Amino acid sequence: MDRGELDSLVEERVRYTVKYAAENSLFYRKWFERQGVKPGDIKAHEDLLELPIISGQTIRENQPPETEDFLFRSVELDEVYTIHETSGTSGNPKSFFLTWEDWERYAEKYARIFRAQGFGQGDRVVVCASYGMNVGANTMTLAARKLGMAVIPEGKCTFPLRVIKAYSPTGIVGSVFKLLDLAKRMKAEGLDPEESGISKLVVGGEAFAEEARSYLSEIWGCPVYNTYGSTEGTMCGECTELSGLHVPEDLLHLDVYDPGLKSFVPDGECGRTVLSTLLPVGEKAGTLLLNYDTEDTTVVLTRKPCPCGRTHMKIMTPQREAETVWAAGTPFNRVDVERGVFQRENLEYLTGEYEAFVYGGEDEGEVTLRLSLECENPEACDRTLIKENFLRSFLGYKPLLSRASEEGIFKILFNFTGPRGLELHKVKGRPKRLVDRR
């Protein structure tokens, strides 16, 4: 769809979605009244930007136990198909109510992502994402039906290797580290990942360094694609151009907001991802959100047509603000640490597994980053080479950190372990690789 038609469709859906919210959501009905906003006055994208930003905390404050009912729910309970909760790592879990229509829209978004990455009729994809309160795995499974794909719903990347031998999957969805570990298991049993028939890998739901992508692609001998999704319904994904994630603009309105400036920023500038649900006229949503701050940061890269033929805008892979720490007046993210770890020369000695902890405080005069790296063989590990490569990568684009390092205010300590020697191997669930312990 060309840009003019797309913008017209978006505005039609903005008007309908705001009207639907005012009529069906207790939260938005009161919210519009408190803000002195007439829903009928919200007619275009620019009008939507005039509304206040809401957050995850706003959702928590408008559901039990804070309130008697779930005020964001926007259908009757007997119209709800599934109920989901977020992990609750930053407080009481947020609750989301999905109708079957919500699931169909989620599946539509993810089917587009799969199609953009070259999947289609005849593909068989192993899904190594959890089936449960997280919507990702179920969304992929429903999306596969639209494309004639078969899904092997393993849920974890620890599945037996006979699955690959018996069913000849053509793709796998998993995390960078799970896919690296799977390749290692295969090699140990004499199965070459490059000869396995896997033609595409999808890393779902997390930002990662380009160096990690390159190494994973090298090990498997196929392209590695990234996707970004959430229970809130984001579902953006790369196409075969690997030059940003396409946003399904007709179903999801995405803007970028700078909380420091308290304003939206132009394309090309970094800020927080703010999303709004867009409903096709006549459809319903179990929970809808307007101007919702995801607390993930991104940049709108372009709104021009992509060489792949798609016209929907592209964004940089969002990074979670919860995975960003500050030292010496400079922010750095887990992805910055990962970029340094995955320098190609390092991977002659390292497994790629790492964990980083930040200690100290500005008032104590110094901050320390303690980086633990897992070696294939600690005795044969070229530690000097690894340290030099990491420092060159990590400090290369952060002049303030580099200067603080020279002055001894910011220190980086390296720790090397053998296989399975990291703390994260002792923790259940998804490991947190950059932890601020100040």
What SS3 class is residue 405? helix
- Supply φ then ψ for residue 341, to 5 degrees: -65, -40
- Supply φ then ψ for residue 5, to 5 degrees: -65, -40
Superfamily of domain 3-103+232-317 in the CATH hierarchy:
ANL, N-terminal domain (3.40.50.12780)
Q: Tell me if 3-103+232-317 shares its fold with 118-222.
A: yes
* Structural contact between residues 228 and 234, judged by C-beta atoms closer than 8 angstroms: yes
Q: What is the pLDDT of residue 205?
A: 73
- Supply φ then ψ for residue 236, to 5 degrees: -115, 155
Q: Extract the tokens encoding 12.
A: 């039609």
Flag residues of the chain having pLDDT under 70.
88-91, 361-364
* Structural contact between residues 162 and 152, judged by C-beta atoms closer than 8 angstroms: no
Q: Which residue carries 């620890």 as its tokens?
A: 158
Amino acid at 396: G
Q: What is the pLDDT of residue 127?
A: 97
Query: In this predicted model, what pLDDT tens digit does every residue of 33-81 receive, in sequence order?
Result: 998 999 999 999 889 888 889 999 999 999 999 999 999 999 999 999 9
Q: What is the pLDDT of residue 365?
A: 73
Q: What is the pLDDT of residue 89?
A: 54
| Domain residue ranges of the chain, discontinuous segments joined by + | 3-103+232-317, 118-222, 323-436
Question: Could you give the CA distance from residue 142 to residue 45 in angstroms, rounded to a whole number?
Answer: 30
Residues 6+ apart with CB under 8 A from 266: none
Q: What is the DSSP string of 319-370?
A: EEGGGEEEETTEEEEHHHHHHHHT-GGGGGTEEEEEEEEEEEEGGGTEEEEE
Please name the fold of domain 118-222: Rossmann fold (3.40.50)
Q: What is the pLDDT of residue 361?
A: 67
Bridge-based pairing of strands 366-375 and 224-228 is unpaired
Q: What is the pLDDT of residue 260?
A: 82
Q: What is the pLDDT of residue 364?
A: 64
Question: Could you give the CA distance from residue 220 to residue 157 in angstroms, rounded to a whole number?
Answer: 15
Question: Could you give the CA distance from residue 297 to residue 355 in angstroms, rounded to a whole number?
Answer: 22
Q: What is the pLDDT of residue 427?
A: 83
Q: Which residue carries 């959501």 as its tokens?
A: 25
Please name the fold of domain 323-436: GMP Synthetase; Chain A, domain 3 (3.30.300)
